[in-house]
Chains A and B, each alone.
Chain A
């Protein structure tokens, strides 16, 4: 074996900055990374793509020291290393910005950045602020290091995460799905920053499943599928379709059969809905047999809108009409009995009670109905178990027994159970919030088909999603939401750039620098 080269020698002799050789990582029952080979060069933006569960995040977490690898080796500047903690990774110059930020909301920017690297047992915030702001300027970022994190926008918070890594002198910056939470304009800003970093000699690893972005920013692209590397290419050598095919392994349908249904009178009408600070003058209408897609980056009032509509909280003002009946401010129970169904964004916090059995979860939302009750307030256990068995069979929920706890189901099966339960009572209105988050392709197709079936059956569907693909796939009409306001109405024939404008504040409205 050649003498390990270090530092500049390594660059000159062509040894990659980072090399992963046959890296393998297993979890109980699944091989997340299967003998992966990957190289990273100095001064490049390297995209790592694959669908949910392909192993891209896992691979980078191994590199960042969060998981120990089960096989293979990692070389940094030609020397083999063992990275067994983020501290070790940082010492080697590797930094990571996670998809879900790990920032202390109540601390300031400066406190977040120096945490763990305080430079002594006393903390000198003034000096820290100065150093941070200087460094940020050097990279073309602007940041007020004295502001609290919870006073910053999502894009600004992401910049803090990046600065955290840069402050520690990283050469390699891993970004995990960075644009999932950004508006198109913020994405543009981010890309500019990334190019500046690249020009400064930094290496960026860009984990994403958004092919358009990847083609726009990356120098090299590595595709993972089911834990294995299936291809490595550059944007000039490939296309979106080819990348998608590599990611999924078969031809991907970008268009499902969308049945044409004559939609009639609006089934759901929302007028002037206001919720302090979160929703402003929201007007919506959805007709029977229609799917209305609400597109927007997360955090713009979608959650509050869904919760107000289903009855989890009352609006400050405005009117909600279902089938001509005023249901403003009614409770969840009342709305369900009138035919509203709700597939929540968070399966664990709003959907299932994980500690309870499957049969108990099957009746959640309907437990006050006479058909599931016996005498003395008792539950009609037999009927409920029948219900559970039926739901599981009809929606092909993979479960061993209805007596198992809901926590034993996989994410996709949990979502299917929730969907089965919500659709069981032939709802007139289905509110679906991020219904396919975290699901694999098979489950996503299943859920999409179910939603289209609702449309066919003449129900109204309100689809709230941050995934434009999903919005396009399913919606008959599209509206955009931004900072709690409905900013535009579009059709699925409109190109994404046009919709993107709505997602950021209005028809061509200039965003003031905040």
Chain B
């Protein structure tokens, strides 16, 4: 075996290669989706450039518009994080949808029954209640998976269905408002339970009217949570074990990691994050929980997670993109004859292309690495 020092050629560190490959994948996927979108738009007799510009403009022309984009993005960041942390352990949490609505119901319960407390106590309590409710909801599929092997995709979807009925019952019975008789909703939450509007706090509500834009402190908090999740995942022992389990459970186990225990812990954490998804809606926008609460945030979170490569740095960016597309729908409805469903299709195509592009790029990168490895060995 040769023992002389072999000068290895200076190589780009791996993470740069990785970043470059992700950029290539994203660009390719976006280009492809934009192309398909353009084709569809032309088929409708509209101008694709105009359409894309409208979407862009509706999200960026005034500070107020961008604020709406960020407002849209806020729940998606939490939702994307929830899906992503579970995915790192190899688990699919499709149940964020059900978890967040249970979270909202729990938050509503806390806000209503503890309404006497001052803000400093009530608001955190409400938030914790949301997280706890969602965690409880996530615990069922988690424990079933670990104890019986029941596939979490099926169980979480079933839990979603149960959640809808459960929350409906809660809104109509124990939490029902005595005051209003026609609407199906809870009472208004006390002011002390609501999350302050960001524009109001910063004193810029003349530029960003708080009656239209409900961008709250939950947005910057979401960014902080992203950093915290990054730290947890890449700098703590728990995150290390989660990634090991998700990547190579056999080796993790031989390294002393408890697979089931780790899976349950991370699924609960995923649930906790899911609990935050609905808060901007009920604590920053409506101020109550109505039976027509906002739905779909759990599923959009899956799309956001995939688009953001399941990484705490990519997720907020993906969420903002989605926020922009959501905002752009309004623009399209006003300024064009296009059915807004086009954007939904585009989102779908985008996700598909992104997923395929990532796969192709990872494999190409792996092949290149293998080749380099072979060269070094000769």
Whether chain A touches chain B in the assembled complex (some CB pair under 8 Å): yes
Residues of A within 8 A of B (CB): 27-31, 310, 312, 331-333, 336, 342, 344, 346, 348-357, 360, 364-365, 367-368, 373, 376-379, 381, 396, 398, 400-401, 403-405, 407-410, 442-443, 446
Total contacting residues, chain B, CB less than 8 A: 38
Partner of A354, one of B248, B255, B372: B248
State whether B256 touches A403 (Cβ < 8 A): no
What's the Cα separation between A28 and B11 when bound, in Å?
18
Residues of A within 8 A of B372 (CB): 28-29, 408
Residues of B within 8 A of A365 (CB): 254-256
What's the Cα separation between A407 and B369 when bound, in Å?
9
Residues of A within 8 A of B371 (CB): 28-29
Partner of B254, one of A351, A368, A379: A351
State whether A333 touches B256 (Cβ < 8 A): yes
Query: Does B30 lie at the interface of the complex (its beta carbon under 8 Å from any beta carbon of A)?
Result: no
What's the Cα separation between A403 and B251 when bound, in Å?
19
Residues of B within 8 A of A (CB): 1, 3, 6, 8, 11, 13-15, 231, 235-238, 240-241, 243-244, 247-248, 250-256, 258, 366, 369-378
Residues of B within 8 A of A344 (CB): 254
Residues of B within 8 A of A401 (CB): 11, 13-14
State whether A400 touches B256 (Cβ < 8 A): no
Residue of B nearest to A27 (CB): B374
Partner of B253, one of A312, A410, A442: A312
B364 nearest CB across to chain A (Å): 14
Residue of A nearest to B244 (CB): A353
Residue of B nearest to A442 (CB): B1
B262 nearest CB across to chain A (Å): 12
What's the Cα separation between A331 and B255 when bound, in Å?
10
What's the Cα separation between A368 and B3 when bound, in Å?
35
Partner of B255, one of A349, A367, A373, A409: A367
* In the complex with contacts A364-B255, A403-B13, A29-B248 CB distance below 8 A: no
Partner of A364, one of B251, B374, B377: B251
Residues of B within 8 A of A368 (CB): 237, 256
What 6 A-B pairs have minimum CB-CB distances, sorted nearest first? A29-B374, A333-B256, A28-B371, A28-B374, A29-B375, A364-B255
Interface centre among A30, A342, A344, A356 (most CB of B within 10 A): A356
State whether A332 touches B256 (Cβ < 8 A): yes
Residues of B within 8 A of A404 (CB): 14
Interface centre among A367, A381, A442 (most CB of B within 10 A): A367
State whether A360 touches B250 (Cβ < 8 A): no
Q: What are 8 A-B pairs at a CB distance below 8 A? A: A28-B374, A29-B377, A332-B255, A344-B254, A349-B248, A352-B251, A356-B243, A367-B255
B337 nearest CB across to chain A (Å): 48
B80 nearest CB across to chain A (Å): 21
Residues of A within 8 A of B1 (CB): 396, 442-443, 446
State whether A377 touches B238 (Cβ < 8 A): yes
Residues of A within 8 A of B378 (CB): 29-31
- List 16 extra interface pairs beyond A342-B254, A355-B248, CB under 8 A: A30-B374, A346-B250, A348-B251, A349-B251, A350-B254, A351-B251, A353-B244, A353-B252, A356-B244, A360-B240, A367-B240, A373-B237, A379-B237, A401-B13, A407-B369, A410-B373
State whether B374 touches A332 (Cβ < 8 A): no
State whether A410 touches B377 (Cβ < 8 A): yes
Residues of B within 8 A of A31 (CB): 378
Residue of A nearest to B368 (CB): A28
What's the Cα separation between A378 and B236 when bound, in Å?
4
What's the Cα separation between A442 and B248 when bound, in Å?
28
Residues of A within 8 A of B15 (CB): 403
Partner of B247, one of A30, A356, A403: A356
What's the Cα separation between A381 and B248 when bound, in Å?
21
B99 nearest CB across to chain A (Å): 24
Residue of B nearest to A446 (CB): B1
What's the Cα separation between A401 and B255 when bound, in Å?
23
* In the complex with contacts A29-B377, A29-B378, A379-B235, A312-B14 CB distance below 8 A: no
What's the Cα separation between A310 and B244 when bound, in Å?
19
* In the complex with contacts A350-B251, A355-B247, A364-B244, A28-B370 CB distance below 8 A: yes
Residues of B within 8 A of A352 (CB): 248, 251
What's the Cα separation between A332 and B257 when bound, in Å?
8
State whether A29 touches B256 (Cβ < 8 A): no
Residues of B within 8 A of A29 (CB): 371-378
Residues of B within 8 A of A310 (CB): 254
Residues of B within 8 A of A342 (CB): 254
A191 nearest CB across to chain B (Å): 36
What's the Cα separation between A342 and B250 when bound, in Å?
13
A421 nearest CB across to chain B (Å): 9
B160 nearest CB across to chain A (Å): 31
What's the Cα separation between A407 and B378 when bound, in Å?
17
Partner of B377, one of A30, A379, A407: A30
What's the Cα separation between A269 and B238 when bound, in Å?
34
A374 nearest CB across to chain B (Å): 9
A387 nearest CB across to chain B (Å): 14
Residues of B within 8 A of A378 (CB): 231, 235-237
State whether B237 touches A377 (Cβ < 8 A): yes
What's the Cα separation between A354 and B243 when bound, in Å?
11
A212 nearest CB across to chain B (Å): 28
What's the Cα separation between A442 and B3 when bound, in Å?
12
Residues of B within 8 A of A332 (CB): 253-256
Residues of A within 8 A of B256 (CB): 331-333, 336, 365, 367-368
State whether A408 touches B377 (Cβ < 8 A): no
Interface centre among A30, A357, A378 (most CB of B within 10 A): A378
A364 nearest CB across to chain B (Å): 4
State whether A353 touches B14 (Cβ < 8 A): no
